[in-house]
Structure 1
Amino acid sequence: MTRLAAVIPSAGLSSRMGSFKPLLPLGSGTVLSRCIEVFRQNGVARIIVVTGKRAEEVASAARRAGAVAVHNADYEQGMFSSVLTGIRALDPTISGFFLLPVDIPLVRVETVTRLIQAFSESDASVFYPRFQGQRGHPPLISSSLIPHILTHDGQGGLRALLDTFESGAHDLVVTDAGSLRDLDHPADYEFAMKRVGQEYPFAEEWEQLWDVYGVSQDIREHCAAVARVAKILCLRFNETCTPHALLNPALATGAAMVHDIGKGRKHHDAVGAWRLLEHGFTDAAQIVREHSDLSLGERDNMTEKEIVFLADKLVQGSSPVRLNARYEAKLMLFGDRPEARKAIRARQERANAVRARLERVIGVDVETLAFEGGG
């Protein structure tokens, strides 16, 4: 069994931020608690937070979140001194440890999950997450390197030491922009506040997903066209609905941009949803799972799921299409197969029911919106 730990250096001065980073609110917790939680949810039993400035406050917060705190009395000497302090507190029986500076709090739980799986199946000295060609955090470092780290003179920091073991390093391609996002300045914190907890891909992430799963150019263009229509429908819905029913155009857009990442596989909607779940895009996965067909009951709320479903039906290739014309074309292909024709007619009725429900709310023909803005 692979036994892992995590070291979270949290001893910096936060001079560029202007506020003390570890204890800044973020999501339902703090910057520090989010870093701890990403490991707790993956069953990492020993999580070590290295304190420095405001040590007692950080230590107390670390313990409340389920971590162990150790103090680096030499924290003003820089990050490497905190790395050493954390490593000295590790259990000697571990197989490896993660290193995640506290100012990188947007890493997804599933990114750590995938790193653990990859590490357990290899003999790598270090496993790095790689996003859009760049190595990010947290690296997963083999315990075999601990003696070398502890005797390193600190020149060039930990990176210089790890570079000497590059021949044994492996990269894992991830779709997690958070692996590269740190909090150095107030603008970075503002960005983190907007991104935290969003379980759908943003532009740089859906592009990475396309690359990981080899999505063809025509499918990418189709997804982009569906996303344009979905955004238009969301915005128009939000103009007329009650405040408690507002939709999230970013969620609809993100889900639409990846709704066909399973294309070419049997049950491609389920395959696409599974792929998104593996990377931590839970909200998008729920939409993608039902983008091919769904039913909307009279008492059901209109959600981003129905918006993406309908937008997909209003786009053929990368161009807008009239809803019934789309289904009539399919009927022509299955003219001699009664059961298939029956199934197509049923899908057509369900799509028209969603369309009628949306049009009652927004007061505009959705095909008109699709042709005006989706071409």
Structure 2
Amino acid sequence: MTAVYSAVILAAGLCSRMGRFKPLLPLDGGTVLSRCVALFRTCGVERIVVVTGKRADEVAACAMEAGAMAVYNPTFEQGMYSSVLTGVRAVGSDVDGVFMLPVDLPLVRPETVRGLMDEFRRTRPTVLYPRFGGERGHPPLIGVEAVPAILNHDGDGGLRAVLGGFEADARDLDVPDFGTVHDLDYPEDYELALAVAGIGYPLEDECAELFRLHGVSDHILGHCRAVAAVAVALCGRLNDRLADRPGAVRLDPGLVLGAALTHDIGKGTKRHEAAGAELLREHGFPAAADIVAAHFDLTLAEDAPITEKEVVFLADKLVRCHGPVPLEARYLEKVSMYRHEEGAEEAILGRLSRAKTVMARFDREMHDSSEHIAREALA
């Protein structure tokens, strides 16, 4: 039988540390609150309750426009637990589990919520927490059997104290999702959220968690880090040249870094570039996935712009293991290894020809040698 979920978004706080009213701050084409509502709607959670307090009418209007119901907490100034109670009462008891999300954590990815739903159905714990880098985050998914304890609690120690009573039947789900632990407490937290909301690539901390979750070896990790260093250097040189061209679109160094760090995450599987790309898509990183899918071989037309995809591709071809290598030597080494296989030499030399075309274009654009930049980056 399909499990039924609801979500409570706590948006009644005073926002004293931020100095601005968090729920209605602009974010990713909407507001912080509308992004939180959209998170659950995207995942098929139909009963979404937004608890209001300060500026209740404005928050309620935003919540309803986004597709949630709003309930007012008249005692919101007493603290967050009063809002937890208001939300849980509004949800009712005819659900299997309740997500609990403070509005100041708007960067959680839909893939995390879907993963929690899948794990909850499979293992049915009383409480299921997303965990990032060893730290429990939000939103926990709380089984309906814990609701009476929440409603009967006096608020001392908050929701954490109540859920702590169910620790023996709690589980953690490791996720490569920085958004589960990133609160918008201070203005600098909001500035970071503005920069990364909606990006389709992993941040450095998320890359580290991806490596851990998928058992990436130290050897592959060292190679990925070396490729990332070269890719970032190439990206920087290209962007320096683009700065002199009015209207030119600069490359995204964050995308270059995230894709380069994860380009070999599928190594050890057949067609590792496709396997790695699929893995990244499953975790919510489609922009990086597109680059990873193309890092084995690609063609750059003379009139086509250089993109982050070509940067990562070339960087990978200028690194052997953890150190720099001339482009031609990289491919000729493969020829010597596989020339006994029918058609292998021809295929490898074809890839070499395409890679030379890409590198020649880089060298012209940068007014420098790509191989020289790679050596400098890994010195």
Interval of TM-score (by shorter of Structure 1 and Structure 2): over 0.9
- Is 2:180 the partner of 1:176? no
Show the 5 A alignment for 1:67-86: 67-86=68-87
CA contact (8 A) 1:48 1:69 kept: yes
Mapped contact 1:130–1:171 kept (Cα < 8 A): yes
Matched to 2:345, the amino acid is R
Q: CA deviation at 1:170?
A: 0.6
Counterpart CA distance in 2 for 1:152 and 1:357 is: 66
Does the 8 Å CA contact 1:224/1:257 hold for their aligned counterparts?
yes
Secondary structure of 1:293's counterpart equals coil
Instruction: Tell me, yes or no, if structure 1 residue 239 matches structure 2 residue 240.
Output: yes
Q: Aligned match of 2:335 in 301, 320, 331?
A: 331
Shift of 1:46: 1.0
Show CA shifts across 1:206-235 (max 9, x none).
Answer: 111110011111111111110111011111
Distance between the aligned counterparts of 1:95 and 1:301, measured in 2? 51
- The RMSD of aligned alpha carbons is 1.1
Unaligned runs of at least 5 residues, structure 1: none
2:345 to 337, 341, 345: 341
Aligned partners of 1:85 and 1:18: how far apart in 2? 25
| Aligned 1:103-252 pairs, distance under 5 A | 103-241=104-242, 242=245, 243-252=247-256
Show the counterpart of 2:277: 273
Aligned with residue 292 of structure 1, among 285, 291, 296: 296
- What are the superposed Cα offsets for residues 114-150 of structure 1, whole Å, 9 maximum, x if unpaired? 1111111122001100111110000001111112211
Once the 2 structures are TM-superposed, how far is the Cα of residue 301 of structure 1 from its aligned partner?
2.2
Q: How does 1:301-316 map to 2 (within 5 A)?
A: 301-316=305-320
Match of 2:258 in 1: 254
Report matched runs for 1:22-101 at 5 Å: 22-101=23-102
- For residue 375 of structure 2, the aligned residue among 368, 371, 375 is 371
- The partner residue of 2:360 within 344, 350, 356 is 356
Q: Deviations over 1:316-357 (max 9, x none)?
A: 000000000111111112333340101101111111111122
Task: Name the SS of the counterpart of 1:9 in structure 2.
Answer: strand
**How far is 1:279 from its partner?**
1.3
Q: Which amino acid aligns with 2:229?
A: R
Structure 2 CA distance for aligned equivalents of residues 11 and 270 of structure 1: 45
Mapped to 2, the partners of 1:343 and 1:19 lie a distance apart of 59
- Structure-2 separation of matches of 1:266 and 1:35: 38
Counterpart selection for 1:263 from 263, 267, 274: 267
TM-score (norm 1): 0.98
The one-letter amino acid of 2:313's match is F
| Distance across 2 between alignment mates of 1:263 and 1:346 | 22
What is the alpha-carbon distance in structure 1 between the residues aligned to residue 370 and residue 249 of structure 2?
19
State the secondary structure of the residue aligned to 1:245: coil
Mean CA deviation greater in 42-51 or 183-192: 183-192
TM-score for both structures, normalised by structure 2: 0.97
Gaps of 5+ in 2: none
Runs of 4+ with >6 A deviation: none
Q: Which moved more, 1:152-161 or 1:310-319?
A: 152-161
> Residue 355 of structure 1 contacts residue 366 of structure 1 at CA under 8 Å; is this kept in 2?
yes
Q: Distance in 2 between matches of 1:75 and 1:333?
A: 69
1:106 shift after superposition: 1.0
Identity %: 53
Offset of residue 10 of structure 1? 0.3
Letter in 1 for 2:325: V
Deviation at 1:307, TM superposition (A): 0.5
The aligned amino acid for 1:271 is A
For 1:348, what is the secondary structure of its paired residue? helix
1:92 Cα offset (Å): 2.7
CA distance in 2, matches of 1:140, 1:333: 51
SS of the residue 2:91 aligns to: coil
In the TM superposition, residue 298 of structure 1 has moved relative to its aligned partner by 2.7
Letter in 2 for 1:343: A
Paired residue type of 1:276: L
2:107 aligns to what SS in structure 1?
coil
Higher deviation after alignment, 153-162 or 329-338:
329-338
Matched with 2:13 is: 12
Alignment check: 8 A CA contact 1:226 1:374 kept = no
